[in-house]
Amino acid sequence: MVDLIDRQISAEIVIACRSGDRDAFRSLYDLYKDRVYSIALYFLHGDQAAASDVTQQVFLKLMTSIGDFRGDAEFSTWLYRLVVNACMDAGRRRKSDAVTTDRSHLEMLAGPASQEQDYARAQMANSVRAAVSALPPKFRIAVLLRYFDDLSYEQMAKALHCSMGTVASRLSRGHRMLADRLKGLKYG
């Protein structure tokens, strides 16, 4: 699916963006905005204002630096590199990030009662979001990139500025931590 989307990001669109074509930029934005926002939102513990901020920064940076995109890498890899940098910077600015997880923010992400009437399922969803939120930042961002865009290890390595081995290790350890935290939880 990612490859398909990347193929759709044709040279024409990139060239149009470089020349300041607002419509072309809007197409790029529409294609990726929800994924970028979702990654930022879950990375930043459900803080919607901070996630909006990161999303805005990413796309502004994208627009102002699209001239640096040479087309020898996949567009999404380049975009997610911007996402990783923006999320990590925003996380650092959130002083309380390392020590607290704001469950109220995370619970707001749950759907309304009509969509998640099953209490046990809603509890489960909150537990999963809290568990993801409690992961150390490097594991959290790796897990989110993997979940939201199913990037290959090679693409993730480029986005995360690390080796494929490190990516594999972070995903494996991240998932193990999630599994440990969620051990014993079953659908009601």
| Contact residues for other proteins, defined by CB under 8 A | 22, 25-26, 29, 33-38, 41-42, 48-49, 52-53, 55-57, 59-60, 63-64, 88, 91-93, 95, 97-98, 109, 111, 124-125, 128-129, 132, 136-138, 144, 147-148, 162, 166, 169, 175, 178-179, 182, 185
Q: Which is nearer to other proteins, 9 or 62 (CB)?
A: 62
The rounded distance, in Å, linking the Cα atoms of 166 and 98 is 22
Helices 75-93 and 153-160 pack at an angle, to 10 degrees, of: 50
Length of the chain: 188
Q: Which is nearer to other proteins, 140 or 155 (CB)?
A: 140
Min dist CB 40 to other proteins, Å, is 9
Q: φ and ψ at 46, to 5 degrees?
A: 85, 10
Helices 153-160 and 137-149 pack at an angle, to 10 degrees, of: 140
Min dist CB 112 to other proteins, Å, is 13
Token duo for residue 112: 């309304």
Min dist CB 11 to other proteins, Å, is 22
Min dist CB 53 to other proteins, Å, is 6
The rounded distance, in Å, linking the Cα atoms of 100 and 112 is 25
Min dist CB 14 to other proteins, Å, is 17
Contact 110, 138 (CB under 8 A): no
Q: Which is nearer to other proteins, 73 or 171 (CB)?
A: 171
Q: Which is nearer to other proteins, 6 or 21 (CB)?
A: 21
The rounded distance, in Å, linking the Cα atoms of 152 and 173 is 17
